[in-house]
Amino acid sequence: MEAVNRVNSRDRDKDFLRVIILESSLTACQALTVELKKDNHLTTTCTSRGEADRVINAQKPDLLIIGYLGEVSCLEVFREYSKQMPDLPIVLLSHTPEVNKFFREWVISNGGYDVVSWFPEKVSLLREVLQRLAHPNQSPQQMSKSSLEIQEVATPVPQPSPIASPPPSQNIQPPLERYLEVKEVAAPTPQPITAERIPQEIAAQSSESLQLPSERSVDVKEVVAPAPKASPSVSSQTLTYKQTLAALNQISESSLIYFGGLVIGNYWKKVHASLVQAHPWLQSWSVNHNGVISYSGETNPEEPLTDEQFQSLKLWVKAFIKECDRIIGDYAELLQSSELSEELIQIIS
């Protein structure tokens, strides 16, 4: 793919730019297109990498916007396009109302032009980005005046309608906007496990994996060992199996902002396979192809982990974060900048 000029001077005189939007969410594409057409910019939307390649070769864009691409990591696409076309400005699209400051700085330091949100109350900021591209020599006073004009003419974009959750039997990889709602975690109870902080389909699997018949719990209490045996020491931390399950799936959920579900699932499985022989306790934990984690052991969900189990858990999580570090440097710091549960902070600290 041949290099593309940063901004075509002929188009700059016309005060419009050719913009390619690479985003699988039609709702986000519509919001961006409506906003950019207010300044007469020419927009082309693509829902796949192959489609974007063909359009880029044909149109020679002035700006590329990369958003959510389903099972493909937007960061991988960003890195590849940055190498192929170092002079092409690239803006990454956030599916959260507020752009993570650390993530924005990371993108800019790695050659990206900016990171913006597509949400209706924030999408007008994208017009300011295009204004900087179209008028690089404009004074700060002029930019400030233009920014006020943009805010005055900006019209609200209809909020996206909620997307129904697919049945558990289908592949689980919804658009990122479904993961934006912060849900409260109910106080632990002796009921069958549900993971309140994670998407509904994750909770369904978690409940199946960790539910224990009440009869089995009674049997365990009534059995008396014929001879004393050394029992594993209980850790000073109080992290239970139920909390562990929710925390692990919160990592997967938070990582969906930066990676596709298949990528997350592959990373979890890869490091799990490398650790399970030395840490047999991890055998009871499994990951599906979309990064959803479940537990199949017959332990009381409210029972705390032992010191040994807790250390095995930390190693697994640490190895997963290290895999993510290969794509995004200092991924642990980026993860910690999100709203994490106390249990998850305890694991990754």
Q: Residue 205 has what pLDDT?
A: 46
Residue with tokens 């001077």: 9
Q: What pLDDT, on a 0 to 100 scale, did the predictor assign at position 112?
A: 92
The three-state secondary structure class of 333 is helix
pLDDT, position 40: 87
For the chain, the straight-line distance linking the first and the last C-alpha, in angstroms and rounded, comes to: 43
> Which residue ranges of the chain lie beneath pLDDT 70?
1-14, 71, 137-237
Q: Helices (H) and strands (E) in the chain — how many of each?
A: 14, 7
Q: What is the C-alpha R_g of the chain?
A: 24
Residue 99 is predicted with a pLDDT of: 82
Tokens linked to 271: 């490091």
Alpha-carbon distances of 283 from 51, 200, 286, rounded to whole Å: 41, 25, 7
The one-letter amino acid at 161: S
Q: How many CA atoms lie within 13 A of 171 on its CB side?
A: 11
DSSP letters of 270-339? HHHHHHTTT-GGGGGEEE-TTS-EEE---S-TTSBPBHHHHHHHHHHHHHHHHHHHTTSTTHHHHHHTS-
CATH fold label, 9-153: Rossmann fold (3.40.50)
Coil, helix or strand for 23? coil
Residues 6+ apart with CB under 8 A from 58: none
Q: What is the pLDDT of residue 178?
A: 37
> What are the residue ranges of CATH 3.40.50.2300 in the chain?
9-153
Distance, CA of 252 to CA of 260 (rounded, Å): 10
pLDDT at residue 253, rounded to an integer: 86
Q: What is the phi/psi pair of residue 72, to 5°?
A: -100, 135
Within the chain, where are the H helices? 9-13, 26-37, 49-59, 74-84, 101-109, 125-134, 140-153, 200-210, 214-222, 241-255, 261-275, 307-325, 331-336, 342-348
- Three-class SS state of 188: coil
- The string over 111-125, giving b where at least 16 C-beta atoms fall within 10 Å of a residue's C-beta and e elsewhere, is ebbbbbbbbbebbbb
Taking the C-alpha atoms of residue 272 and residue 265, their distance in angstroms, rounded to an integer, is: 11
Please count the CA atoms within 13 angstroms of the CA of 64 that sit on its side-chain side: 33
